[in-house]
């Protein structure tokens, strides 16, 4: 399996982790997604894996010369959709950073092209595979909390000092799609429900010189069957915190409540008195799951449909926040 990587701004670590575990795949080429996107550090990390990818100035040239089986796209976020289209047009499968696009028209173009092809596509909703989320999700699928009724998800990050392209909506896409999309994905993934309406707010106040970047956001979803979900997002996590991020979900159902917090899983249901801490299951990670699908040996847990759907919902949530209105989904 020949793999190329375009760009180094996103979660290329998913690809590196996958290739490290899979003796039948090779990273054969790497290129920037746009001029000036530094890829030296990524090239070095790939080298440490024992891989010797060819480095290209122009990713189109790379695609044509190397004819890879899979391309990972992880460039500046506003470039994702156009690069993805270029890859798909050459008949190559895509593993793409989320959100798939930073505006609805580009999303529609990618989706249309994908649907007319026989190619595979998945967005990097890799947090699903973190043992704590995977364990909680499996428990919910097995009925551990009965029917899901109310969900609250959280993404909280340290802000630090972000690259220039984060500082403009046009190049960054917004905090709801970039950070929030993971949590929006969990709401759909845990409950199996579809989103009906979204209302939202976001604010770039107190963003420490980060231009238009929103540092707080709050989303309110009505889902099918009277289910509700919120997502709170912030870049307010203090530098002194023990980890970069504080990802959480609480799912309250008719038969119990489950929570992911601090990379642990806590369950209360009728089976036992009090809070049970659930032991975690390991998983192979998103990229191996996607490669398995490309090889025709299974279905990746993150489908192309979900990748498009969550991107669309997040872009519409951004509209709700910008325009202070309810958006129908």
Site residues for a second copy per CB under 8 A: 147, 149-150, 152, 154, 156, 197, 199-201, 203, 205-206, 215-220, 222, 225-230, 232, 234, 236-242, 252-257, 268-275, 324-326
CB of 261 to a second copy, least distance (A): 9
Q: Which is nearer to a second copy, 4 or 251 (CB)?
A: 251
Q: Which is nearer to a second copy, 36 or 274 (CB)?
A: 274
Residue 141: helix, strand or coil by DSSP?
helix
Pairing assessment for the beta strands 121-123 and 93-96 based on DSSP bridges: parallel
CB of 99 to a second copy, least distance (A): 21
Q: Which is nearer to a second copy, 100 or 257 (CB)?
A: 257
Q: What are phi and psi of 59, to 5 degrees?
A: -65, -25
The Cα 293–Cα 301 span in angstroms is 9
CB of 229 to a second copy, least distance (A): 7
Residue 279 in tokens = 């032991």
The crossing angle, in degrees rounded to 10, of helices 104-115 and 304-323 is 170
CB of 107 to a second copy, least distance (A): 25
The Cα 320–Cα 77 span in angstroms is 21
∠ CA 74-76-81, nearest 5°, is 70
∠ CA 130-310-269, nearest 5°, is 50
CB of 111 to a second copy, least distance (A): 28
Q: Which is nearer to a second copy, 118 or 142 (CB)?
A: 142
Q: Which is nearer to a second copy, 54 or 326 (CB)?
A: 326
The Cα 250–Cα 258 span in angstroms is 6
Q: Going by C-beta distance under 8 Å and a sequence separation of 6 or more, which residues neighbour residue 40? A: none
Instruction: Name the CA radius of gyration of the chain, rounded.
Output: 20
Residue 80: helix, strand or coil by DSSP?
helix
Q: Which is nearer to a second copy, 117 or 232 (CB)?
A: 232
Q: Which is nearer to a second copy, 32 or 151 (CB)?
A: 151
DSSP 274-295: SPEEEPPPP---HHHHHHHHHT
328 bridge partner residues:
197
CB of 321 to a second copy, least distance (A): 10
Residue 137 in tokens = 């999700």
Q: Going by C-beta distance under 8 Å and a sequence separation of 6 or more, which residues neighbour residue 242? A: none
Residue 122 in tokens = 């998945």
Q: Which is nearer to a second copy, 55 or 236 (CB)?
A: 236
Pairing assessment for the beta strands 54-56 and 276-278 based on DSSP bridges: unpaired
Q: Which is nearer to a second copy, 79 or 216 (CB)?
A: 216
């Amino acid at each position: 399996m020949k793999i190329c990587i375009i760009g180094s701004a996103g979660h290329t670590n998913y690809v590196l982790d996958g290739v490290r575990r899979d003796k039948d795949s090779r990273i054969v080429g790497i290129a920037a997604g746009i001029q000036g996107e530094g890829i030296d550090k990524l090239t070095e990390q790939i080298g440490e894996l024992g891989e010797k990818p060819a480095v290209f100035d122009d990713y189109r040239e790379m695609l044509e010369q190397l004819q890879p089986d899979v391309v990972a796209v992880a460039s500046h976020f506003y470039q994702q959709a156009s690069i993805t289209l270029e890859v798909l047009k050459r008949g190559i499968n895509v593993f793409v950073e989320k959100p798939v696009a930073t505006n609805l028209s580009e999303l529609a173009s990618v989706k249309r092209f994908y649907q007319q092809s026989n190619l595979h596509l998945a967005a990097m909703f890799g947090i699903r595979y973190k043992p704590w989320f995977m364990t909680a999700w499996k428990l919910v699928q097995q009925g551990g909390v009965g029917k899901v009724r109310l969900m609250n998800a959280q993404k909280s990050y340290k802000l630090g000092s972000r690259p220039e392209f984060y500082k403009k909506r046009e190049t960054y896409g917004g905090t709801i799609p970039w950070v929030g999309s993971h949590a929006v994905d969990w709401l759909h993934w845990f409950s199996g429900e579809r989103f009906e309406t979204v209302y939202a707010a976001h604010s770039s106040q107190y963003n420490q010189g980060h231009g238009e970047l929103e540092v707080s956001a709050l989303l309110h979803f009505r889902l099918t069957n009277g289910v509700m979900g919120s997502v709170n997002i912030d870049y307010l996590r203090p530098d002194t915190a023990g980890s970069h991020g504080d990802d959480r979900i609480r799912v309250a159902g008719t038969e119990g409540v489950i929570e992911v917090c601090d990379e642990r899983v806590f369950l209360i249901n009728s089976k036992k008195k009090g809070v049970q801490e659930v032991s975690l299951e390991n998983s192979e990670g998103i990229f191996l799951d996607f490669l398995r699908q490309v090889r025709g040996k299974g279905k990746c847990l993150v489908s192309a449909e979900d990748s498009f759907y969550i991107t669309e919902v997040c872009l519409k949530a951004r509209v709700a926040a910008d325009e202070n209105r309810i958006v129908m989904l």
